[in-house]
Structure 1
Amino acid sequence: MSYKNNRTGYQKQLLGSRSVVKAGNFALIPNDGLVKNNVPGFENVDVSIMGTPRLGAHFVDYIASFQKGGKHTGFGGEGIETVAYVVSGKLKVSDGKEENILTDGGYAYFPESVIMTMENAQDEPTEVFLYKKRYQPIAGHKAYKIVGNTHDRAPQDYEGMTDVHLWDFLPTDDLGFDMNMHILAFEPGASHAYIETHYQEHGAYLISGSGMYNLDNGWYPVEKGDYLYMGSYSPQAAYAVGRGEPLAYVYSKDANRDPEI
């Protein structure tokens, strides 16, 4: 086993971590201390497994650094939908019929049972946030492949606030999609308007900035490189702090489905 930050051996400082894990409720997992996992299908890729059912999630998230020549031979599977978001670098994705090159801010959604192959399209490492979930079908509606880039789209002012911006990856009013992926960005000093408490769960990867995050009514410092899991009904909200860049994160949300009983 090796570590994402490659820090091993004797340490000069006392051991400590900002990690907080409350399975089924919430988790804050900093970049420091993440392990590199050997996962079938990934070749020459440093991959850390993040949100999973063991944590309480109904999805699986990965943070993957594709090295030179790094690839995945087939992401997804029968009944599984997938998303790849490029944090930095250049990634080639294919559904076996069409190839697309994703650069910084680029994303690809593949519907259920469409296998995604991925390959680093540059010599330098490419960092990717990956998501997969078992699709919940609904009669008369169907999801479809979507490829885009957030840099090509104007953000929305989030709930009327001009210093909080939202990018949607997928259509929000199409019942064919049982989830969505977004980026939410808070300028320094901005925040949610209220503490959210809702049925939907999130997996989030912080891509810039720093701030304080409310998780189950406890406030925790967060920064770029952190991963957050927020379970159903776990209170949540953010304040952005720092200078020069927004607190921004890419995150998933289940949507457009009635809870099962």
Structure 2
Amino acid sequence: MTPKYYAPKGGHPGQDQLLTGRAVFTEAYAVIPAGTMQDIVVSSLPFFEDTRVWVLARPLSGFAETFSQYILEVQPGGGSDRPESDPDAQAVLFVVEGTLTLTLDGNDHKMTPGGYAYLPPSAAWSLRNTSDAPVRFHWIRKAYERVEGIDIPEPVITNENDIAPDPMPGTDGKWATTRFVDSLDVRHDMHVTIVTFEPGAVIPFLETHVMEHGLYVLEGKAVYRLNTDWVEVEAGDFMWLRAFCPQACYAGGPGRFRYLLYKDVNRHMKLR
């Protein structure tokens, strides 16, 4: 089945619209619906041309602390020759619409929908839209936590369509995860994966664990349990879960429910 990838287009609601929406921000989680990603909330970044940004997540004291996540919309000819100014920041790029040209160590890579790139800290990279249509992609950033005796990971450039999902044991493939890097590779201190639920599939218990989560719904709809609440979500929505926030899912829609998932992994808990 061909994957689908929701991408925001912006715009502005008319004066005839009701104020009622599904946006929620609590002490344990946040839901940022697709409908909130309008023109009025876009941002700009240093050294980018013909680019606008929707910021989905940023570190906040006492809430989410490990990552930031953006959706970038780059017009033809736009991009940046120096996108990252933080030498400690690693990145994952994931393309949801259009064609992105990623230049890494002087080599060009064409990234199309489903395209994934892991870029380690201090990597020499830039990006451009050399096509004739806008490109939209996620950019997830995390300060890399160095550990003495463990090397920094190498770059990874691939596409979801070239990777077989790993089914969750005992689910007959109804719940599966597409992994872009080896989950046992402790050089990586974050994982960005794609989780797929077939219609009717569930997370059958309240997961409660230390990883902070960012979930962007790529396709479909579901009912998600967040802390004490059941929340309806659909393609284009973003969920931001604090560490230990109880979570579960029922994929009740007519098609697959899929999301891009960030979590922090493979490191000791900071004690100070």
Q: TM-score, normalised by structure 1?
A: 0.92
Q: Is the 8 Å Cα contact of residues 4 and 33 (structure 1) preserved in structure 2?
A: no
**Partner residue in 1 for 2:32:** 29
Equivalent residue of 1:221, what SS? strand
2:239 to 217, 228, 235: 228
Equivalent residue of 2:218, what SS? strand
Deviations 1:169-203 (A, max 9, x none): 11111111111110001111111121100000111
Equivalent residue of 2:161, what SS? helix
**Partner residue in 1 for 2:5:** none
**Partner residue in 2 for 1:164:** 175
CA distance in 2, matches of 1:222, 1:108: 27
Q: Is the 8 Å Cα contact of residues 91 and 119 (structure 2) preserved in structure 1?
A: yes
1:13 to 11, 17, 21: 17
CA separation of 1:112/1:32 partners in 2, compared to 1, >3 Å: closer, same or farther?
same
1:254 to 257, 260, 264: 264
Equivalent residue of 1:107, what SS? strand
1:57 to 53, 60, 65: 65
Q: Is the 8 Å Cα contact of residues 223 and 232 (structure 2) preserved in structure 1?
A: yes
Partner amino acid, structure 2, of 1:74: R
- Could you list the runs of 5+ residues in structure 1 that have no partner in the other structure? none
CA distance in 2, matches of 1:59, 1:104: 23
Q: Is residue 68 from structure 1 mapped to residue 73 from structure 2 by the alignment?
A: no
Equivalent residue of 1:32, what SS? helix
Q: Is the 8 Å Cα contact of residues 204 and 249 (structure 2) preserved in structure 1?
A: no
Deviations 1:55-103 (A, max 9, x none): 5231110011222222133233211101100112211112232221111
Q: Is the 8 Å Cα contact of residues 4 and 46 (structure 1) preserved in structure 2?
A: no
**Partner residue in 2 for 1:206:** 217
CA distance in 2, matches of 1:233, 1:134: 21
Partner amino acid, structure 2, of 1:17: G
Q: Is the 8 Å Cα contact of residues 64 and 212 (structure 2) preserved in structure 1?
A: no
How many angstroms does 1:104 deviate by?
A: 1.2
Partner amino acid, structure 2, of 1:71: G
How many angstroms does 1:39 deviate by?
A: 1.9
How many angstroms does 1:134 deviate by?
A: 0.5
CA distance in 1, matches of 2:79, 2:196: 30
Partner amino acid, structure 2, of 1:183: I
CA distance in 2, matches of 1:75, 1:57: 22
**Partner residue in 2 for 1:128:** 137
Q: Is the 8 Å Cα contact of residues 91 and 119 (structure 1) preserved in structure 2?
A: yes
Q: List aligned pairs for 1:125-204, cutoff 5 A.
A: 125-142=134-151, 143-161=153-171, 162-204=173-215
Partner amino acid, structure 1, of 2:75: Q
Q: Is residue 105 from structure 1 mapped to residue 82 from structure 2 by the alignment?
A: no
Q: TM-score, normalised by structure 2?
A: 0.89
Equivalent residue pairs, number: 256
Partner amino acid, structure 2, of 1:27: A
**Partner residue in 2 for 1:239:** 250
Deviations 1:182-241 (A, max 9, x none): 000111111112110000011121110001111112110100001111110001121112
CA distance in 2, matches of 1:115, 1:133: 17
Equivalent residue of 1:165, what SS? strand
Equivalent residue of 2:174, what SS? strand
Percentage of identical aligned residues: 32
Equivalent residue of 1:57, what SS? coil
